Chain A
């Protein structure tokens, strides 16, 4: 029995999904009950994973691993999902996707993410990816009556399917050259494989496919439209947990390849992806007038910074990515949470004009959004700054100083468009009427995020110590 103790997160969540389906069918007031069930489920799964972070164990013929940084990822997915449920409780009725199914699909997407993070086999990654992606397509279009939501969902599905094609093709090529899909075995054969063109092509295709879920160049086109069309809480979830899941899968598959030599094969390619994502995201974000679209482009830029960590291909880079993802999850989710609170019925109050003079109408919300913006812009002492710091350390250590300098330039552009939000909130007078619906749950989730952004900013040491202790 003890043997399966560490598998409890997966078992619990799967059981929870089945329970939720039954509740959905038989309960009249399923929405509220399911919301609380989900929160309970996410928190217990997340904290169970966090409590047993030290114990590493392999399951199912070495197909799934639990423990170490994988548990940190599991915690992060679940905690983010719990925050999203809190935000969605009042928001859903405002937006019109107040269905019990919302929570069930959310749970299954988290299960997919957990599989991606823990996978030790390329097929498990694919399985996890599909569970997550299909749930995401449904989440994006959950409100059937909205044209934009339908568009978002269809766009997401078509492009997502296209990107998945790349991943499957990549897996096929890797299998063709290595004769196995087990990641440890592939890593064992790295010496000979690194000379195989087939293998390199496979890994590159795999990476290109994943850049879709990471929201990185060259598969970033869907991001603004999908974020704009889908519910704000859901968009927040896509941009944080979805991105984290994609990076977790890439770290698990490519991490060993990078760490035990051969990083240089992929370094130029990853560096180009990083630069293209950062600069494209930052520059286009300047021109946005819709806050959700702005956050979408900012999400592309952040994928670029994270790619710097991949490109540098050392311990610091991997640790930096994980830390960055933790920081990014809370600051970005918090920002989306505030957008969800301010958003009116029928997608109103999403343009910058509605935020004019927010500091006078909603000083508390404005102050928190300002902190999230400063953190996203990478200004100390908030969490986002330390994420960037670790990533840049990794880059400079690998003699990629030029990449760090480009990263810095891109952050500078970032400062401009994040500051715009603050300028509008604090330095402009109110222009349009704005009634902010009261949502204590939504506010709670934003407050939790802001506290975490500040705490991670003041004491980043223990988190980075924990992460790096699992890497060595």
Chain B
């Protein structure tokens, strides 16, 4: 099989599975679950095949497949991978089967619809990461909204309707303005190319030639959409609601992959398409990112709900990623990408653990817990391990990303001040405080709540879900090079694209 078509097959396998799923009898819940799992595992296997066929020495897009879709507007179905999107693709296909296993017993009603939406979501997210046509990207960007909206709205908690509508409207605000910017860009391209174009390989050449005054508006239209998704302070308010109300699987996918769509968009589109505006806005966005890091951490500290705490920690962690992007150095961008993966697996695991314990006790209030170390030792260990990874303990994954980001931002010529690094570093300390404090209140002490008596420890299925995540936590922590070298070429290229034009004008 030609490896170029594998990518397209991989994109459509989940949605094909979702359609086939509709023909399975609703009553046959086990078949539905196994079928959904099988589809997502096939997707994972295909993405691993892609990984082994990927040439990391090449900075160009690979496995490219182009098919003229709407000829009148010159829109093509154009997909391909570079190192950065490969990592995120692997993260997506890795997390999806795990979330399906994790919700084996927690999703009791409408299993068929749930699996359907999860698979639809997977196709949407894969599409976002591999699209090389802005229009195609926009379509997948919007498709992702629909299943997530239903997952929060149908299987969510008490305030699920509020949370799902807020999620939808917030994202739409940004993306519709991005749509206008995409059209504007396509029409701008037609003046020099002679035809409308949304092909990003063509736009990479044209974007930097846009006058700076207009680039600024274009940058803002794209950045708003992505910043809402990340979410960047002060656009983050939908996130805690969405996370708290979503079912565990929804939270995990939301944190692990959906948020990455925003940071991915910033790297893939904002930096190379509008380099001058990126440099212009870099200090401003970095300041917002640092406010996010500190604010997220401080707010996380005072949360009484475990899930909300993890949600706010997401705001802080994603702040690091954005800081790494807009420090505009090769190290920090590498750090951002590895941090995206880290946040995906660590925060994903935190949500899984909170979900597992919630399934048993039906409460997420920290004050309801205490002293469960004796009752559920495996859980206590897992929570400690993941918390340490999230804090950024050296030797575990979180450290690598944060270190690279801080290093890059320290020597960044664009930010040109060590103050950014100083304030960002304080976020690492805060992370240790809120996570360890939560850990202490939940796990240590005496069992005061009689309801906790007879609490069952993690079962084999749950351990099976966590085990692969733990392997990667240690792997990335000890030998990050396996992953760093994959995205090395593509991040170098992005940095080159940003500064190439500036140097040209100086000369």
B-contact 0/1 string along A48-60, CB 8 Å cutoff: 0000000000000
Distance in Å: Cβ of A296 to nearest Cβ of chain B: 23
The distance from the CB of A235 to the nearest CB of chain B, in whole angstroms, is 28
Binds A, one of B166-174, B382-390, B416-424: B166-174
Please tell me if the beta carbons of A379 and B145 are within 8 angstroms of each other in the complex. Answer: yes
A408 touches B153 (CB 8 A): no
Contact B172 A415 (CB under 8 A): yes
Q: Which single member of B139, B165, B180 contacts A381 (CB below 8 Å)?
A: B139
The 8 A CB mask of B113-149 against A (1 = contact, 0 = none) is: 0000000000000000000000000110011011001
Contact between B164 and A427 (Cβ–Cβ < 8 Å)?
Answer: yes
Restricting to A350-391, which residues have a CB under 8 Å from any CB of B? 374, 379-381, 385, 389
Evaluate contact between B72 and A405: CB separation under 8 angstroms: no
Distance in Å from the Cβ of B125 to the closest Cβ of chain A? Answer: 15
Q: Which residues in A have their C-beta under 8 angstroms from that of B154?
A: 426-427
When the two chains form their complex, are residues B187 and A379 in contact, meaning their CB atoms are under 8 A apart?
Answer: no
Bound CA span A408–B172, Å: 10
Check if B183 sits within 8 Å of A393, measured CB to CB.
Answer: yes
Q: Is A22 an interface residue (CB 8 A)?
A: no
- Asked if A415 contacts B169 (CB within 8 A), the reply is yes
Please determine whether A427 and B153 come into contact, CB atoms closer than 8 angstroms.
yes
Within 8 A of B (CB), among A426-442: 426-428
User: Which one of A374, A412, A465 contacts B176 once the chains associate, using CB atoms below 8 Å?
Assistant: A412
Query: Is B206 on the interface with A (CB-CB < 8 A)?
Result: no
CB within 8 Å of A: which B141-199 residues = 142-143, 145-146, 149-150, 153-154, 160-161, 164-165, 168-169, 172-173, 176-177, 179-180, 183-184, 186-187, 196
Task: Given A461-B69, A461-B70, decide whether A426 and B180 contact each other with a Cβ distance below 8 A.
Answer: no
Q: Judge if B73 is at the interface, Cβ distance under 8 Å.
A: yes
Judge whether A401 and B184 touch: CB under 8 Å.
yes
> Which chain A residues lie closer than 8 Å to B142 at the CB level?
379-380, 385
**CB of B459 within 8 Å of the partner chain:** no
Whether the pair B153, A468 counts as a contact (CB closer than 8 A) is: no
Which among A374, A408, A428 is the interface contact of B179 at CB below 8 angstroms? Answer: A408
- Cβ B153 vs Cβ A415 within 8 A: no
Please report the number of residue pairs spanning A and B whose Cβ atoms sit closer than 8 angstroms. 78
User: Is there a chain B Cβ closer than 8 Å to A464's Cβ?
Assistant: yes
The yes or no answer to B71 lying at the interface (CB within 8 A) is yes
Q: Does A419 contact B (CB under 8 A)?
A: yes
Per-residue B-contact encoding for A454-472, CB less than 8 Å = 1, 0 else = 0000001100110010000
Cα of A409 to Cα of B173 in the assembled complex, Å = 8
Q: Which B residues between 178 and 225 are near A, CB-CB below 8 angstroms?
A: 179-180, 183-184, 186-187, 196
CA distance A428 to B142 in the complex (A): 24
- Tell me the nearest residue of chain B to A393, going by C-beta: B183
For B150, list chain A residues within 8 Å (CB): 426
Most A-side CB within 10 Å, residue of B69, B165, B168, B172: B172
Min CB–CB distance A408 → chain B (angstroms): 4
Contact residues on A (Cβ < 8 Å of other chain), bracket? 20 to 34
Complex contacts, A381 vs chain B, CB 8 Å: 139, 143
Cβ contact within 8 Å between A404 and B183: yes
In whole angstroms, what is the CA distance A159 to B63 when docked? Answer: 61
The reply to whether the CB of A397 lies closer than 8 angstroms to some CB of chain B is yes
In the assembled complex, A269 has its CB within 8 A of some CB on chain B: no
A379 to B149, CA, bound (A): 13
Which residues on the B side are within 8 Å of A404 (C-beta)? 180, 183
Beta-carbon contact of A392 and B161 below 8 Å:
no
Residue contact B176 to A427, C-beta cutoff 8 Å: no
A404 to B221 Cα, complex, angstroms: 13
Chain B window 64-90, contacts with chain A (Cβ cutoff 8 Å), 1 for yes, 0 for no: 000001111101000000000000000
- Contact (Cβ within 8 A) B72 A465: yes
Asked if B138 and A412 make an inter-chain contact with CB atoms under 8 angstroms apart, the answer reads no
Q: How far does the alpha carbon of A460 sit from the alpha carbon of B72 in the complex, in Å?
A: 10
Q: Which residues of A contact B164 (CB under 8 A)?
A: 423, 427
Q: A393-B183, A404-B183, A415-B169 are in contact. Are A468 and B146 (CB under 8 A)?
A: no
Instruction: Please name all residues of chain A whose beta carbon is closer than 8 Å to the beta carbon of B160 when the two chains form the complex.
Output: 427
Contacts of B172 on A, CB cut-off 8 Å?
412, 415
What is the minimal beta-carbon distance from A392 to any residue of chain B, in angstroms? 5
Instruction: For chain B, residues 350 to 369, give those with C-beta under 8 angstroms from any C-beta of chain A.
Output: none
Q: A461 touching B176 by the CB < 8 A rule? A: no
B70 / chain A contacts, CB cutoff of 8 Å: 460-461, 464
A464 proximity list for chain B (CB < 8 A): 70, 72-73
B143 partner residues in chain A, CB cutoff 8 A: 380-381
How far does the Cβ of B16 sit from chain A's closest Cβ, in whole Å? 14
Known contacts A380-B143, A427-B154, A427-B160; A408 and B72 CB within 8 A of each other: no
Instruction: Tell me the bound Cα distance from A428 to B160 in angstroms.
Output: 10
CB distance from A113 to the nearest CB of B (A): 27
Q: Nearest-CB distance from B434 to chain A (Å)?
A: 32
Is A396 within 8 A of B183, CB to CB? Answer: yes
Residues of A with C-beta under 8 A to B183: 389, 392-393, 396, 404
Instruction: Tell me the complex Cα distance, A416–B161, Å.
Output: 12
Complex contacts, A397 vs chain B, CB 8 Å:
187
The 10 lowest CB-CB distance pairs between A and B, nearest first, are A461-B70, A408-B176, A380-B139, A427-B153, A380-B142, A464-B72, A427-B161, A396-B183, A465-B72, A404-B180
Q: List the interface of chain A (C-beta within 8 A of B).
A: 374, 379-381, 385, 389, 392-393, 396-397, 401, 404-405, 408-409, 411-412, 415-416, 419, 423, 426-428, 460-461, 464-465, 468
Residues of B within 8 A of A (CB): 69-73, 75, 138-139, 142-143, 145-146, 149-150, 153-154, 160-161, 164-165, 168-169, 172-173, 176-177, 179-180, 183-184, 186-187, 196
List 28 contacting pairs A-B, 8 Å CB cutoff, sorted by A.
A379-B142, A379-B145, A379-B146, A380-B139, A380-B142, A380-B143, A381-B139, A385-B142, A389-B179, A389-B183, A393-B73, A393-B196, A397-B187, A404-B180, A408-B176, A408-B180, A412-B172, A416-B165, A423-B161, A423-B164, A426-B150, A426-B153, A427-B154, A427-B160, A460-B70, A461-B69, A461-B73, A461-B75
Additional pairs, 10, CB under 8 Å, beyond known A401-B180, A408-B177: A379-B145, A392-B179, A393-B73, A397-B187, A404-B180, A408-B176, A408-B180, A415-B168, A419-B165, A428-B161
